[in-house]
Chains A and B, each alone.
Chain A
């Protein structure tokens, strides 16, 4: 199964490691295993997709409400309707970007940029 993770085995190996007397070294060992590295990667990307992606989409939508050349009611609706598209793109980006931590970095940067622009435009 080249494109399927195997959560069963990783959970299993973590259990056996946990039972070892030296607890800390067990954790270190666990992190060294290939399966665990995979699990951590999935977790980092999934959390980036769901949390950072949401924040990026929401801040981008907020920015749009301010900069779209429409009355505020219309721009709010427009931005809100588009926000799910942004969110979907952000999620897919988080899983497709080459380096795992770049998912958090890039989405975080987008959020920060949008947030800064909101602060600038809001005045």
Chain B
């Protein structure tokens, strides 16, 4: 493309990064939040903040199973596809009974209704507000929203490939990688943004590479299905059976049969698994001849993501399948990759580290796009000084920067506010929570049409920061407990949510404060060149990039 390899990759880095930057920002942002999927879900269901948390106890397993089975038999409609009994785990310390209805027309999976048992065994909470909670961010991460899931996954995969190329080329053009890790020159205009971009990318570089590549691998069978066609001569079912041996291929027969008592299977489970904790029991097609019972072991901190399961026949109680002990090398690698991406093995601290690495990824994308906007503006500076309007491209880039960089956090905060403020029985409540996120995003887009100057950034950051900081207060007002109660009752997930909201809100307020300082001294610290500033073209990023490249070459 260009004269040298370095120049070509530098060009490639710019365009691969920039063309899809806003989608990447959305994906990174939603992905980082999905590390706290269960914690966010817990926060969005304040009905469950009192009296339901319990630890897993193997001694009560039998009575819990019996209770769950009789409750489901009594309360679930007869058309359900499956029953689920979930036992308390570290991240979701609840005993819950749920059922899945058959999918409605045009939907791939049916709605799940969940009822939660009180910890002291005195009853069941069946009225929980409708909210998608953390699952929304998890789905947004790869299914986006307002479009068919498969289309969205292709878009996400396409953008991820761009990201991979941007990463590889970024490493190649970045010869002084170690030195730049320690250099951050603040208040140096575009140079500072470049440094910020370098620091945010380089510090978390292993994470960025890992998350991008494993991200592609999570959906690899969608992106490159031809290998299965070749190896299995088009017999995709056989491959899926190899991949998920527990996959149920049988359909319901429609012939009624008596369901085996779940607690009767416990001795068999003990014989195979010993005292390993059980995470969940799923009964598919209850009371049907083809009914099937699957027990999932709680794998805890295992790095591979393979489910350890036992499958019984639902009518006879006969053991039909048990997960083999050792997995093959390829499968273990695949599972580990999946697990690395989802961080299911991570304890609280590692999870927080992953979250902040994800935020660094957001920062990497955001600083990249900001540099782009500065570069276009510098190119047009002379024309703008003469009184001409900035070009459409510049206005678009700046506007979209404003919309996404401010709009995503603001939208998330709006989502949480909607979760608590909307009436609990509103029809389509869960959907309106989601709409509120996108309404906030679009509102920021409209704001950006009218003004994108530093003062506007500052104001928008301030609003978002204040709203984020008041989330703990909102929680205290709209749920039975405030943060102090939660600390006393060891509800660290809820406490952590509040603290993180305070921290992130604080950072945003700090950033907006910082912007004030810069506004007051624009001549000294030109971050975004104002029309009057004597900005020399020397500080243009591309010039610097190429000069640093020449330095590197020599």
Binding site for B on A (CB under 8 A): 1-5, 8, 41-42, 45, 57-59, 61-62, 64-66, 70-81, 83-85, 87-88, 91-92, 95-96, 118, 122
Contacts and interface: CB of A to CB of B under 8 A. Distances in A.
A92 B229 CA distance: 27
Interface string B215-245: 0110011011011111110000001001100
B168 A84 contact: no
Given A61-B224, A92-B168, A71 B328 contact: yes
Contact of B161 (A72, A75, A84): A84
Contacts of B216: 84
Nearest to B213: A84
A75 B231 contact: yes
A3 B161 contact: no
9 closest Cβ pairs, A-B complex: A74-B330, A62-B230, A65-B231, A77-B330, A73-B242, A72-B231, A76-B231, A84-B216, A78-B330
Contacts, number: 117
Given A1-B542, A3-B542, A95-B8, A80 B230 contact: no
**Interface of chain A, helix or strand or loop or mixed?**
helix
Nearest to A121: B230
Contacts of A85: 213
Interface in B194-219: 213, 216-217
Nearest to A64: B227
Contacts of B9: 92, 95-96
Of listed A3, A42, A79, A91, residue having the most chain B CB within 10 A: A3
B226 A61 contact: yes
Nearest to A100: B1
Given A78-B333, A81-B220, A87-B161, 19 more contacts: A4-B14, A5-B11, A8-B391, A62-B227, A64-B227, A70-B330, A73-B242, A73-B330, A76-B227, A80-B221, A81-B217, A83-B224, A84-B224, A88-B161, A88-B165, A91-B161, A92-B165, A92-B169, A96-B1
B5 A96 contact: yes
Nearest to B167: A88
B231 A84 contact: no
A85 B337 CA distance: 14
Interface residues of B, number: 44
Interface of B: 1-2, 5, 7-12, 14, 161, 164-165, 168-169, 213, 216-217, 220-221, 223-224, 226-232, 239, 242-243, 328-331, 333-334, 337, 379, 391, 393, 542, 546
Contacts of B337: 81
Given A73-B242, A81-B337, A84-B213, A3 B168 contact: no
B161 A65 contact: no
Nearest to A79: B227
Contacts of B329: 74
A58 B228 CA distance: 11
A76 B12 contact: no
7 contacts: A62-B231, A72-B232, A76-B228, A76-B231, A76-B239, A78-B333, A80-B227
Nearest to A62: B230
Contacts of B242: 73
B333 to A, nearest CB: 7
A65 B379 contact: no
Contact of A62 (B5, B169, B226, B393): B226
B331 A74 contact: yes
B330 A45 contact: no
